[in-house]
Structure 1
């Protein structure tokens, strides 16, 4: 008789594939490492860490958020112990004397403009590494006229910064501009200026990455979405649905649509609508309305007593979670697919919240003290 086949967990390759698919929570790998020396040796291997981060790169957990402030960038955790990261661990103190603008978070990096929008700071909260980059020539650092995004390829130390600029509200003949910085080369690329103009400003929400394009929400004489195609290096302006364009109190955000592609969340009063950008057989793109959500009923609000309508203050692109502020209720997290919601925290801060979605592992002391422990790896 042939010898008995080894048990599944005795097969090193099969065990690795199983552990690779565990949830990407901060406490997962530290707990796995405590099972036995063999398992600890496997999950401590740098090759396994790389595969684990890459496997969960497009579905990272939502850890918390950053909010701009004076001389600091405070962090607020979302998860509960043992996956909760203490606020003081990720909060950044700055030497600047003016207001610091957070432009967004992605791939474990935070993009900040700390001094009247003359430069940007790329910050890795886990390692503490900082890169200060002056604005490219031709950009003017006026409030609400410059926005940006940061990207980092999988398993790479280098990153890209994309800055976009609009002429500003109530100005004429002002072009749109974009420029891409490569940390690998250490220089800005050429200015990208399309043959279109837009009189308006950035609303302040983080950019949205869908496929090969980044999207920012614009306000002004007409609400719109600015698209930057990373592959083609082109800019375009997408108008919101015509039925919404004349609404003065419109709240909207670019989102990932159900099934993929560009979507739109619009809120007027206490009614939210989900839209999707579709292209017909002739290549003509248009908006199609999907679900309608009555926020007052979903969130148990009384429109007659509530003086503050729901405002969009943040969006988590991978988790498809929107952050809403409703006055006295503080910040509410709403998952757009399941429509599950929970109160994030009590605050009177109406600044934009920039969600930090990242995959990393925490140290062995996790669970042994208040709010978690030492961070080791991140994407």
Structure 2
């Protein structure tokens, strides 16, 4: 059974009035005839399409933004089931990757980090206008900012707060204080730790919170991973390695489905650190090339694999990290991008590439932020375009970090009440 017309009227205009005619021109051609024959014939024409799950699937795929998809899911339970199916969402994300909405800039001379919005189509501009990116009023105490899976993690001396700038009323949490000593050994004081978050899990906001803690004892490095359960930090996995001192690049930790990634300095050499949460094993792997820490960034792919993005001269190298079933690690050069070509396409001088640093990467390595001569540039790898997006002023002194803000994924769908249309 399909949705009745009273509920169909609630569908997004982009579904019924724009997408439907563009996909089915025959319906569009017969629009005037249907209007003269009355509303009944028009309703039958629309129902003939929208009552077909295969056709509706293709229509919903052509919505450009997840916000439109959520509104479409409000029509009825059948539309919600189609729009929220994992297989559908994977294909939707492939066709419409989450958009880069803007970025926070943290500098040596300014506080707190400043949000810089990027131009958006009307649909996403409305999302940004309802969001709250201002950090000035969040705390009287100075806080450090981390970014993990569309969430800002704000640390003060007394507490850790998690906040989603797009939906501050819905996604805001205060996490319990993390103890500074090991749960296994009170004599082991952690040298540093980092809070991580990802979608899914038992927390009330639908998120899982982890804490990566690291300490040193008797020429060993200890890495413990805690998970937040019922308001208490409980041990999830623990690794002890005989490497005396591993210096992680914090806060640059990436949390995949079953692995934690970071880069580290080990005996004056840069290594990739892979912590397997299932087997509680630690791997220290060589990078694909010798490189300075400021010349590369790590980024998760859409399927939780790892990219390493490295600038070498005028070329941008995108390496994919692979690990087979036997635990053997390898690097595959997935792409080589000519930055001179992008600069030429965008009418930017090639001299900006001299001594340029990679500051941030995101969107399945679709974009890269690079800084040169106190100017921040955004390189769109897919469209081979670049533009200047920020200039560091004398008051700001120097750039500390760039935090890209992406559209939230996966979308948060409504929960249909029992009194709603069961169809």
Q: Normalization by structure 1: what TM-score? A: 0.70
Query: Taking CA–CA contacts closer than 8 Å with sequence separation of 6 or more, which of the two structures ends up with the larger relative contact order?
Result: 1
Provide the rounded CA distance (Å) in 2 between the counterparts of 1:187 and 1:281: 34
Q: For residue 123 of structure 1, what is the aligned residue in structure 2?
A: 163
Q: CA deviation at 1:195?
A: 1.8
Q: 1:333 to 1:165 in 2, by over 3 A?
A: farther
Match of 2:175 in 1: 132
Q: Does 1:64 align with 2:102?
A: yes
| Aligned-partner SS, 1:194 | strand
State the distance in 2 between where 1:271 and 1:90 align. Answer: 34
Which structure's residues are more often helix, by fraction?
Answer: 2
Aligned equivalents of 2:59, 2:375: Cα separation in 1: 40
Deviations 1:227-276, CA, capped at 9 Å, x for gaps: 232333444332313x41xx447611223579984332222444432223
Between the aligned partners of 1:124 and 1:269, the Cα distance in structure 2 is 37
- Number of the residue aligned with 2:405: 356
Instruction: Name the structure 2 match of 1:237.
Output: 284
Partner of 2:132: 89
1:274–1:17 distance in 2 versus 1, CA, 3 Å: closer
Residue matched to 2:51 = 11
Partners of 1:68 and 1:74 within 8 A in 2 = yes
Find the aligned partners of 1:322 and 1:299 in 2 and give their Cα distance: 13
1:179–1:188 contact (8 Å) kept in structure 2: no
8 Å Cα contact 2:320-2:331 kept in structure 1: yes
Task: Report the counterpart of residue 186 of structure 1 in structure 2.
Answer: 231
RMSD: 4.5
Distance 1:186-1:63 versus aligned 2 partners, 3 A rule: same
Aligned runs of 1:116-265 on 2, under 5 Å? Answer: 116=157, 119-125=159-165, 126-128=167-169, 129-138=172-181, 145-153=192-200, 157-166=205-214, 173=219, 175-183=221-229, 185-190=230-235, 192-197=238-243, 198-202=245-249, 204-205=251-252, 207=254, 209=256, 211-219=257-265, 221-241=268-288, 243-244=289-290, 247-248=291-292, 251-256=295-300, 261-265=305-309
Q: Which residue of 1 is the match for residue 151 of structure 2?
A: 109
CA contact (8 A) 2:220 2:242 kept: no
Structure 1 residue 325: Cα displacement? 1.8
How far has the Cα of 1:119 moved from its partner? Answer: 4.5
Structure 2: which 5+ residue stretches go unaligned?
A: 1-43, 183-188, 393-397, 415-423
Aligned CA distance change for structure 1 residues 104 and 172 (closer, same or farther; 3 Å): farther
> Conserved in 2, the CA contact under 8 Å of 1:24 and 1:359?
no
Distance 1:283 1:346, change over 3 A: closer
For the residue of structure 2 that corresponds to 1:192, the secondary structure is: strand
TM-score, reference length from structure 2: 0.63
Cα distance in 1 for residues equivalent to 2:81 and 2:311? 45
> 2:360, 2:220 → 1: CA distance?
28
Larger Rg: 2
1:175 alignment partner, SS class: strand
1:51, distance to aligned residue in structure 2 (A): 4.9
Per the alignment, do residues 87 and 281 of structure 1 end up closer, same or farther by CA in structure 2, a change over 3 Å counting?
closer
Deviations 1:60-97 (A, max 9, x none): 33333344577645433334141121496233332143
1:346 maps onto 2:396 in alignment? no
